Structure 1
Amino acid sequence: MANLRHFLQEYSLLFSFSLSKFFPFMRWGRNLTEETVRADLLAGLTGAAIVLPQGVAFAAIAGMPPEYGLYASIVPAIIAALFGSSWHLVSGPTTAASIVMFSSLSALAIPGGPEYISLAITLAFMVGVTQFAMGAVRLGALVNFISHSVIVGFTSGAALLIASKQIKIFLGLEIPVKEHFYESVVYLWEHWSAFHPMVTFVGFSSLAVVIILRRKWPKFPGMIAALFVSGVVAAIFNFIFGEDKTGIHMVGALPRQLPPLSMPDFSAEVLQELAPLALAMTLFTLTEAVSIARSIALKTGQPIQGNQEFIGQGLSNIVGSFFSAYVATGSFNRSGANFEAGARSPLSAIFAGLLLIPLLMVVAPLTAYLPKAAVAGLLILVAWRIIDFAQIRKICSADNKEAAIMAVTFFSTIFFKLEFAILFGVILSLLIYLRKTSRPRIIPRVPNPESKHRKFGSGVALPECPQFKMLRLDDSIYFGSVAHVGEMFRLYREHYPQQKHLLLLTKGVNQVDVGGAELLMAETRERRKMGGDLYLYRLKDSASAVLKDGGYLDFIGEDNIFDSKEEAISKVFDRLDRDICSVCENRIFLECKTLEYKKPEDKKPEDEKPTKVKSTTTKKVSKKVGKIVRKTAAKKTTKKGAT
């Protein structure tokens, strides 16, 4: 009976673990407590209040009726929270996605019309299917190629764009719509004196309430209190002076209506017409959503699963398309506000979507008393907190190249369209990755005579064996790195012709493709022409697969593959020229002690031949190879010092 109970417990745990792969909410749902639910409820209420005015604005940008921006904020947010991997990402309509959709669909139908709405809903379904398919075939690893510097730069640029969109509302200025960011900045600089003091005061009142409450009572829902206080202040100003003189504008009453059921258009003509746009929107929305999730994860330390996020975003658009929602993705504004409001789990996004329904039915008329400047002030605060100044300082001090990449991404986000900036960041990350992998580190290794056990090191002043070179490779040998590795092999052969034997320490080599196998066989051939050979140490199974299957190991020789460094050195030592060993002063191997050292005066006259052994210490190497060796050693020393 006990064995049966134990078996059932193990089976239950295994079944629960398997289900959690398909239903992520089963994982984080176990960790919910009364405290976390309360925090998520307050964060969700804040998110629902913020999305009321935003949803209407996003719908207007997308060319949709105002209520459709709210529809896209309900169902997609709930589904993405249930099936996504991020604990703070909130999905819904966004400025960038709305702009991209409008610029494409407006050429096919009249914005706001029935045909336009049908195309938008169908596009959401197609994007969702493509997103889900990419997650199902596990293409989520593609987002791992977005470097950390790109994310920090993109996040900072997007935060600045969010603030720039709200500053005119915060100051009460009538800034015309500008195509470029710098045009808006110039216009604001030239007309800043025309701001409305009372509008700005209302905006500052919302900021002050949030900042004070965060410092004094951090658990209190500061954003909701800020909206209430600023609404009271705006009502007092308008009552005393009149709305015409104060310039304080309200959000206005929103329509009372639940998301109606809808059906995408599955006709072949429409699907074919929207296919290119659906693919572009898929890449853009996924990159945007995962970038936002990863940027917030940098603050929380929560791991993001790209495949699961793809599936969550896909299901949110698929299901949303049947509830009158157009394309939704991760929202910077809502996700940032959700995090700042103290959200503890995806339950906050679910609450935000669910609470939006009663807000639409009950509170929607009250938004007529919600000042736009107060909402703008809160969004500016969110944008400021999104910028991670600590990470920016670390990147700038750690690596100039990474700092340059971060700066390029930041400025491209500001001066170009947001969707192009994101794609540019992805391409830039891929180029960085390809550049690094195409130039694997090749480091000379020699035994340290000062070490008791002769540990291997890479010191630039350590002596080497005049007949035997050891090099460590730290990356895969594939078609992209063959040119660099082959050039380094050639340089070592030319500048150290007496070091005919080459031992490659391949512990860090994970893969060898056909091009890499051909290179190793060619190097073996060249070494044998010189009278030496090529040897491999600690070759991984993943790297040796192509070598074995292609017959390359037959040419290199199974006897030249070693799993023990001592065995490799002993085998190569037996093949060295004893005449050179007898006059060598380096004596770096333990095996060298077994040989008798002959001083020049002990040699017989007939043995006195002008044999010059070229020193292989980096003090006398050629400029090109010496520069590479010194640079590598300097980097290693710097890293050790930093550690």
Structure 2
Amino acid sequence: MRITALQPAWSFLLPFTHWLPNIDKRDLRADLLAALTGAIVVLPQGVAFATIAGMPPEYGLYAGMVPAIIAALFGSSKHLVSGPTTAASVVLFSALSVYATPGSADYITLALTLTFMVGVFELALGLARMGALVNFISHSVIIGFTAGAAVLISAKQLKHFFGVEMDSGGHLHEILFNFSRHFPEINPWVTGIALITLLSGIAFKRWLPRIPYMIAAMLTGTLVSLLLDTWFGPSITHIPTVGALPATLPPLSAPELSFQNVKDLAPTALAVTLFALTEAVSIGRSIAARGGYRINGNQEFIGQGLSNIAGAFFSGYVATGSFNRSGLNYQAGARTPLAAIFAALLLMVIVLLVAPYAAYLPKAAMAGILFLVAWGLIDFKEISHVLKSSKRESAVLLVTLLSAMFLELEFAIFAGVLLSLVLYLERVSKPNIVTRVPDHRLYKHAFSSDPDLPECKQLKIIRIDGSLFFGSVNHLQERFDRIRANHPEKKHLAIIASGINFVDLQGGHALVEEAQRRKDAGGKLYLINVKERLWDSLERGGDLEVIGDRNIFQSKNAAIHAIYHKLDKSICAGCEHHIFQECRSAPAR
């Protein structure tokens, strides 16, 4: 009993104890192969991101070491890989360059301080169980964000794929415009390497699935590049490579939490926290959806927070979920978080032993691999399904997709989530209201919404499906007004409330107002099949006193029987339809 009671606490504090004991040899092999690919890919990316962030190149590699290990151990995703990203690097540069010269010692200190603050904010949100925020990210947002990011990843690799010197920063249209200006400068040797890498990757994946196609493709591209340089000479081919990297492990560091630094960096830290968490969890959810499992939002918040706190003490700047490396990790066949841990450890080994040999790895080969990754991230089948199935979800998907391609990547998530919420609120603000009448063709004269069926001349019966809250009150009142205007002779109104789950003060007031109007006109308002939660809400608001306990029924039969005795029998005498069974059993007049 004691072990069972402690299990949830251990799972929360040490989540890796849940999956680590279950790893077998096949998992180890798959994770190790995926890690090898990921460790190689992070080399040029880490250097590039550090340059964007205004940090020394080696800091981009440091951010992919210890933070990646901590995030994998304390997160919940099997495939999410944390490290430096384009968005985090750009925000870091724009925020810190105001206070210090990029690349200087003061600048590095501010970057470490900002990283620590972001980690604290992320950890606090995780411990506060705010992971439910990810529930507002719909599936359409994930699909659109993933596809948009994949297109952006490909666009940013155009310069390396075609061997042109151009600025690959900015939005998609800016990248494409810059590329069009440099189109005459395309290097056919570089393009050939990229295409050979891309096509060999496709070939290995299709015809030799047992061989890790990404590693095989990179080796193929590198070998062809070396052969071309040998045969024609580097002065002819001009094939750029990643270049030699510093062979050092991350040194210990510490943030400088002075009052002035905390004051200056607090707004930026909060902004970075929000988009970094959204980005990480969105990536984690998108990969998890493809892998057939779920992630724990709270645990991801904690994992990301601890990773950045640790990164601040191991010379790493802000790290979050990486689309490139997470997608690559999944495509390469990773099975557990151990792949991300292996990748970080292999990166350390590579930096120490192999970093100088990165001079032989062509950037074009890396671009070809990332083109493969980007293509695999676009779920064409699901996109087609959404576009055919729902206009609302299609709008969410397209807004997210276009925002990711033409606006800031992190803004795309917020735009998609905001539109999802707006459409949701618009939908729930108009609860479905249908007319119901007994249908003699159905078993026990069950109620139907067939518009051809006759209605009672004195009683209008409707069913409301949806919650009655401040946002839906106007729609409800307009429907009440329309019923009174179109059917003034029907002084009694019965509401089947089985579809009403919640009512707030304004919703209850709308029912009370309608009950009073019905009473003034000589009729009544009735509620049928009232749920316990609805009853309690009406009772707390004092609405039951006005509506009247005797006008609330728990079954339709009891309601019709009681309401029938309140109808004007002189009007019933001239009715030929006999809607209710009580009408047929009434004595002839």
Deviation at 1:582, TM superposition (A): 2.9
Match for 1:239 among 230, 233, 255?
Answer: 230
One-letter amino acid of the structure 2 residue matched with residue 270 of structure 1: N
Partner of 1:601: none
Deviation at 1:26, TM superposition (A): 2.8
In structure 2, C-alpha distance between the alignment counterparts of 1:271 and 1:362, rounded to whole Å = 39
In structure 2, C-alpha distance between the alignment counterparts of 1:457 and 1:344, rounded to whole Å = 52
Partner of 2:193: 202
Residue by residue over 1:477-502, the C-alpha shift from the partner in whole angstroms, topping out at 9 and shown as x without a partner, is 11111111121122112212223222
Partner of 2:268: 277
Partner of 1:108: 99
Residue by residue over 1:287-323, the C-alpha shift from the partner in whole angstroms, topping out at 9 and shown as x without a partner, is 1112212222332232232222222211211222111
In structure 2, C-alpha distance between the alignment counterparts of 1:23 and 1:448, rounded to whole Å = 60
| Structure 1 residues not aligned, in runs of 5+ | 1-9, 599-643
In structure 2, C-alpha distance between the alignment counterparts of 1:316 and 1:451, rounded to whole Å = 63
Partner of 1:142: 133
Residue by residue over 1:575-616, the C-alpha shift from the partner in whole angstroms, topping out at 9 and shown as x without a partner, is 222222333333333333212567xxxxxxxxxxxxxxxxxx
Q: Say whether 1:89 aligns with 2:67.
A: no
In structure 1, C-alpha distance between the alignment counterparts of 2:474 and 2:213, rounded to whole Å = 59
Larger deviation, residues 451-460 vs 354-363: 451-460
In structure 1, C-alpha distance between the alignment counterparts of 2:104 and 2:574, rounded to whole Å = 93
Q: Is the CA contact 2:397–2:416 (under 8 Å) kept in the aligned structure 1?
A: no
Residue by residue over 1:318-343, the C-alpha shift from the partner in whole angstroms, topping out at 9 and shown as x without a partner, is 22211111111111100110110111
| Structure 2 residues not aligned, in runs of 5+ | none
In structure 2, C-alpha distance between the alignment counterparts of 1:587 and 1:137, rounded to whole Å = 60
Match for 1:65 among 48, 56, 59?
Answer: 56
Q: Say whether 1:33 aligns with 2:24.
A: yes
Partner of 2:65: 74
Deviation at 1:279, TM superposition (A): 1.0
Q: Is the CA contact 2:280–2:321 (under 8 Å) kept in the aligned structure 1?
A: yes
In structure 1, C-alpha distance between the alignment counterparts of 2:418 and 2:250, rounded to whole Å = 38
Match for 1:174 among 165, 180, 189?
Answer: 165
Partner of 1:563: 554
Q: Is the CA contact 2:156–2:175 (under 8 Å) kept in the aligned structure 1?
A: no
Residue by residue over 1:424-477, the C-alpha shift from the partner in whole angstroms, topping out at 9 and shown as x without a partner, is 223222222222222222222223221122233323323322222222222211
Match for 1:433 among 411, 424, 438?
Answer: 424
Q: Is the CA contact 1:145–1:433 (under 8 Å) kept in the aligned structure 2?
A: no
One-letter amino acid of the structure 2 residue matched with residue 479 of structure 1: F
Partner of 1:353: 344
One-letter amino acid of the structure 1 residue matched with residue 437 of structure 2: V
One-letter amino acid of the structure 1 residue matched with residue 432 of structure 2: R
Partner of 1:459: 450
Larger deviation, residues 430-439 vs 176-185: 176-185
In structure 1, C-alpha distance between the alignment counterparts of 2:78 and 2:382, rounded to whole Å = 21
In structure 1, C-alpha distance between the alignment counterparts of 2:412 and 2:123, rounded to whole Å = 24
Q: Say whether 1:579 aligns with 2:570.
A: yes
How has the CA–CA distance of structure 1 residues 212 and 103 changed in structure 2, closer, same or farther, with 3 Å as cutoff?
same
How has the CA–CA distance of structure 1 residues 428 and 366 changed in structure 2, closer, same or farther, with 3 Å as cutoff?
same
How has the CA–CA distance of structure 1 residues 458 and 386 changed in structure 2, closer, same or farther, with 3 Å as cutoff?
same
One-letter amino acid of the structure 2 residue matched with residue 149 of structure 1: S
Q: Say whether 1:420 aligns with 2:411.
A: yes
Residue by residue over 1:607-639, the C-alpha shift from the partner in whole angstroms, topping out at 9 and shown as x without a partner, is xxxxxxxxxxxxxxxxxxxxxxxxxxxxxxxxx
Partner of 1:610: none
Deviation at 1:141, TM superposition (A): 1.9
In structure 1, C-alpha distance between the alignment counterparts of 2:568 and 2:21, rounded to whole Å = 69
In structure 1, C-alpha distance between the alignment counterparts of 2:41 and 2:294, rounded to whole Å = 27
Counterpart secondary structure, 2:495:
strand
Deviation at 1:144, TM superposition (A): 1.7
Partner of 1:627: none
In structure 2, C-alpha distance between the alignment counterparts of 1:493 and 1:27, rounded to whole Å = 61
Deviation at 1:191, TM superposition (A): 4.0
Matches for 1:591-602 after TM superposition, within 5 Å: 591-596=582-587
Q: Say whether 1:317 aligns with 2:298.
A: no
Deviation at 1:539, TM superposition (A): 2.9
Q: Is the CA contact 1:198–1:246 (under 8 Å) kept in the aligned structure 2?
A: yes
Residue by residue over 1:496-551, the C-alpha shift from the partner in whole angstroms, topping out at 9 and shown as x without a partner, is 22232222222332221111111111111112122222222333333333322232
TM-score (norm 1): 0.88
Larger deviation, residues 351-360 vs 589-598: 589-598
In structure 2, C-alpha distance between the alignment counterparts of 1:385 and 1:230, rounded to whole Å = 20
One-letter amino acid of the structure 1 residue matched with residue 361 of structure 2: L
In structure 2, C-alpha distance between the alignment counterparts of 1:469 and 1:129, rounded to whole Å = 59
Larger deviation, residues 538-547 vs 262-271: 538-547
Residue by residue over 1:232-288, the C-alpha shift from the partner in whole angstroms, topping out at 9 and shown as x without a partner, is 111111111122211211101111111111111111111111111111111111111
Number of aligned positions between the proteins: 589
Residue by residue over 1:394-427, the C-alpha shift from the partner in whole angstroms, topping out at 9 and shown as x without a partner, is 1111122322332222222222222333322232
In structure 2, C-alpha distance between the alignment counterparts of 1:396 and 1:590, rounded to whole Å = 48
Q: Is the CA contact 1:512–1:544 (under 8 Å) kept in the aligned structure 2?
A: no
Partner of 2:156: 165
Q: Say whether 1:15 aligns with 2:10.
A: no
Q: Is the CA contact 2:122–2:304 (under 8 Å) kept in the aligned structure 1?
A: yes
One-letter amino acid of the structure 2 residue matched with residue 328 of structure 1: A
How has the CA–CA distance of structure 1 residues 285 and 212 changed in structure 2, closer, same or farther, with 3 Å as cutoff?
same
How has the CA–CA distance of structure 1 residues 389 and 66 changed in structure 2, closer, same or farther, with 3 Å as cutoff?
same
Q: Is the CA contact 1:91–1:328 (under 8 Å) kept in the aligned structure 2?
A: yes
How has the CA–CA distance of structure 1 residues 319 and 176 changed in structure 2, closer, same or farther, with 3 Å as cutoff?
closer
Larger deviation, residues 419-428 vs 376-385: 419-428
In structure 2, C-alpha distance between the alignment counterparts of 1:27 and 1:544, rounded to whole Å = 43
CA RMSD in angstroms, aligned pairs only: 1.9
How has the CA–CA distance of structure 1 residues 38 and 585 changed in structure 2, closer, same or farther, with 3 Å as cutoff?
farther
How has the CA–CA distance of structure 1 residues 535 and 176 changed in structure 2, closer, same or farther, with 3 Å as cutoff?
same
Larger deviation, residues 26-35 vs 88-97: 26-35
One-letter amino acid of the structure 2 residue matched with residue 512 of structure 1: V
Partner of 1:407: 398
How has the CA–CA distance of structure 1 residues 180 and 554 changed in structure 2, closer, same or farther, with 3 Å as cutoff?
same
Deviation at 1:11, TM superposition (A): 4.0
Counterpart secondary structure, 1:200:
helix
Counterpart secondary structure, 2:460:
strand
One-letter amino acid of the structure 2 residue matched with residue 252 of structure 1: G
Partner of 2:531: 540
Q: Is the CA contact 2:158–2:179 (under 8 Å) kept in the aligned structure 1?
A: no
Partner of 1:302: 293
How has the CA–CA distance of structure 1 residues 561 and 160 changed in structure 2, closer, same or farther, with 3 Å as cutoff?
same
Q: Say whether 1:46 aligns with 2:10.
A: no
Deviation at 1:29, TM superposition (A): 2.9
Q: Is the CA contact 1:582–1:596 (under 8 Å) kept in the aligned structure 2?
A: no
Counterpart secondary structure, 1:339:
helix
Deviation at 1:178, TM superposition (A): 5.5
